[in-house]
A = this chain, B = another copy of it.
């Protein structure tokens, strides 16, 4: 199994605080140490830092933890290998282009019976069930919707159907974003928190670090953080319902 961390905001925000606690789970406070990755959307662009070393000891993770990159959509992942060996090609998040936008995906769970996609446009490079599922989602979106990104209601409907189908093969907690919308699906375990004014101090579970968000924000800022398990011990994290597919935009959950 793995660990997921996502962020969706209405202004470019750095994720250093959350990523600090999250990284500790890759070999220090937990054993998700078979690689890690983090994707930052910046405008239409997207950069991903990947490593097949444990996040708690990776020099690249150490660099990212202390280098604030401001983004409105971030997806991070710690890997505990089950299907597919340890290797860079099997590190999440995965990235592909669809409709002239980058799409980024990370998965927690196992889908042992999910078949390898056949002759669709998107094919996995590595050997994880996760990348297989991502390719299947993108092939389905492309085939069902056509050549342009539709309205969010139509997109949500297609995504929900293929998500349910894939989830029938096992455990399918995932984060998915194209830099405009942020999708989060819970099969078994996922939670989120919305931070907005009045902001307050937050204290990490995995490291003894506190940050006072009031000092770092303006009153109109809104930040949604989504994670496998809560990252702080003095805030209330809302658990997802099993089977729930949420969409966030500008730090808000959308009602669809």
Interface residues of A (CB under 8 A from B): 42-52, 59-60, 63, 67, 87-91, 95-97, 99-102, 119, 121-126, 147
In the A-B complex, the 6 residue pairs with the smallest Cβ-Cβ separation, listed nearest first, are: A45-B88, A45-B89, A44-B89, A100-B123, A47-B50, A42-B88
Of the residues B44, B67, B91, contact of A125 by C-beta under 8 Å: B44
Q: How many copies does the complex hold?
A: 2
Docked-complex contact B43 and A87, CB < 8 angstroms: yes
Can you list 22 A-B contacts (CB < 8 A)? A42-B87, A42-B89, A44-B88, A44-B89, A44-B126, A45-B52, A45-B88, A45-B89, A45-B126, A46-B89, A47-B48, A47-B49, A47-B88, A60-B63, A60-B67, A63-B63, A96-B96, A99-B123, A100-B123, A101-B125, A102-B125, A119-B147
Name the distance in Å between A157's Cβ and chain B's nearest Cβ: 23
Q: A43-B87, A45-B91, A119-B147 are in contact. List 11 more A-B contacts (CB 8 A).
A: A42-B87, A44-B88, A44-B126, A45-B88, A47-B88, A95-B95, A97-B125, A99-B123, A100-B123, A100-B124, A102-B125
Cα(A126)–Cα(B102), bound, Å = 10
A98's nearest neighbour on chain B, judged by CB, is B123
Name the distance in Å between A91's Cβ and chain B's nearest Cβ: 7
Cα(A90)–Cα(B43), bound, Å = 11
Task: Please name all residues of chain B whose beta carbon is closer than 8 Å to the beta carbon of A99 when the two chains form the complex.
Answer: 123
Docked-complex contact A87 and B45, CB < 8 angstroms: yes
Docked-complex contact A45 and B90, CB < 8 angstroms: yes
Cα(A63)–Cα(B51), bound, Å = 14
Task: Please name all residues of chain B whose beta carbon is closer than 8 Å to the beta carbon of A97 when the two chains form the complex.
Answer: 96, 122-123, 125
Cα(A89)–Cα(B87), bound, Å = 27
Name the distance in Å between A83's Cβ and chain B's nearest Cβ: 15
Name the distance in Å between A120's Cβ and chain B's nearest Cβ: 10
A67's nearest neighbour on chain B, judged by CB, is B59
Docked-complex contact A48 and B48, CB < 8 angstroms: yes
